[in-house]
Amino acid sequence: MKSALEFQKKQASGDPISMVTCYDTWSARIINDTEIDCILVGDSASMVMHGHPSTVHADVDMMTAHVRAVAKGAPDKFIIGDIPFLAHRKGLQPLMETVDKLMKAGAHSVKLEGAQGHLDEVSHIVQSGVPVMGHLGLTPQSVNQLGGFKVQGKGEETARAIMDDALALENAGCFSMVLECIPAPLANEITEALNTPTIGIGSGPHTSGQVLVLHDLLGMDPSFQPKFVRRYLDGYGLIKNAIDQFDEDVKSKSFPVKKESFV
Ligand code: KIV
């Protein structure tokens, strides 16, 4: 996909939308050669790439640098750049400067978490010609308020609040929205109620598409195995073995050989 309009087309035709996160050029080159529909340069970069305990540590410079790196490697993909912690809560001008930076770095749209208190900002970004993806349910930037990375919308009241926020984000002009870690029946209900495509993570099979963190689906962290992640590779094991093999070859003096040397 190369445009936000294609999200609606896919939804209308009933074709699921696939999205993965990506933060760097070499992974982006691989994704560019796959059938994946779009790339999220998520603020999960803060945890996955920088080792921080939450996405609260992402900032505009970090996100801009990751978007720039991904855009270099994936020229054929639609790229969504995450607006980091509080960058949409500091006033319209700094927010629009953030959007400007992400778009100039190579994003085709931006994503921001939550709805209450910044619906006007969402509308303003949309009316400025920038497609906006919403993000509801478990909004990791609010981890300190949510008391951890927990499933959201289990009770009637919180489910209603998420549904109301989804309708409000659609009304504000979002072209799509992520539903993270909410019960599958609620994700289904929201998807049915909206004209806007939903992209689920940990929210069951009834959304318009699915997203996973690239490093989770590649099995890069053996200590992290949440229920909703399907591992397609033992990336950690494969890469560790390759590095161990190199170490062994160096220490046994079997690397390099003549054909790997200049004569
Ligand atoms: O930052 C991120 O990777 C995300 C996804 C988990 C949806 O927001």
Three-state SS annotation for the chain: CCCCHHHHHHHHHCCCEEEEECCCHHHHHHHHCCCCCEEEECCCHHHHCCCCCCHHHCCHHHHHHHHHHHHHHCCCCEEEEECCCCCCCCCHHHHHHHHHHHHHHCCCEEECCCCCCCHHHHHHHHHCCCCEEEEEECCHHHHHHHCCCCCCCCCHHHHHHHHHHHHHHHHHCCCEEEEECCCHHHHHHHHHHCCCCEEEECCCCCCCEEEECHHHHCCCCCCCCCCCCCCCCCHHHHHHHHHHHHHHHHHCCCCCCHHHCCC
pLDDT band at 218 (very low <50, low <70, confident <90, very high): very high
CA-nearest residue for atom 5, ligand 1, is: 42
The verdict on the CB of residue 73 being under 6 Å from ligand 1 is no
CA 55 to centroid of ligand 1, rounded, Å: 9
- Tell me the mean pLDDT in the region 77-104: 97
- Tell me the mean pLDDT in the region 201-206: 98
- Tell me the mean pLDDT in the region 8-29: 97
Closest atom of ligand 1 to 113 CA is 8
CA 244 to centroid of ligand 1, rounded, Å: 32
CA 20 to centroid of ligand 1, rounded, Å: 9
Give dist(CA 258, CA 263) in Å, integer.
8
User: What proportion of the chain, given as a percentage, has pLDDT over 90?
Assistant: 98
pLDDT band at 231 (very low <50, low <70, confident <90, very high): very high
Residue 253 above 90 pLDDT?
A: yes
- Give residue 209's pLDDT: 98
Residue 256 above 90 pLDDT?
A: yes
**Known active-site residue 121:** no
The verdict on the CB of residue 113 being under 6 Å from ligand 1 is no
- Tell me the mean pLDDT in the region 196-221: 98
Give which of 217, 214, 218, 237 is closest to 228, Cα–Cα. Answer: 217
User: What proportion of the chain, given as a percentage, has pLDDT over 70?
Assistant: 100
CA-nearest residue for atom 2, ligand 1, is: 42
The verdict on the CB of residue 201 being under 6 Å from ligand 1 is yes
- Give residue 2's pLDDT: 86
Which two three-digit tokens encode residue 87?
Answer: 């960058």
Residue 82 above 90 pLDDT?
A: yes
Residue 138 above 90 pLDDT?
A: yes
Catalytic residue among 121, 170, 180, 189: 180
pLDDT band at 40 (very low <50, low <70, confident <90, very high): very high
CA 178 to centroid of ligand 1, rounded, Å: 8
CA-nearest residue for atom 1, ligand 1, is: 42
pLDDT band at 63 (very low <50, low <70, confident <90, very high): very high
Q: What is the mean pLDDT of the chain?
A: 97
Q: 5-232 adopts what CATH topology?
A: TIM Barrel (3.20.20)
Domain residue ranges of the chain, discontinuous segments joined by +: 5-232, 234-263
- Tell me the mean pLDDT in the region 239-263: 98
- Tell me the mean pLDDT in the region 52-79: 98
- Give residue 72's pLDDT: 98
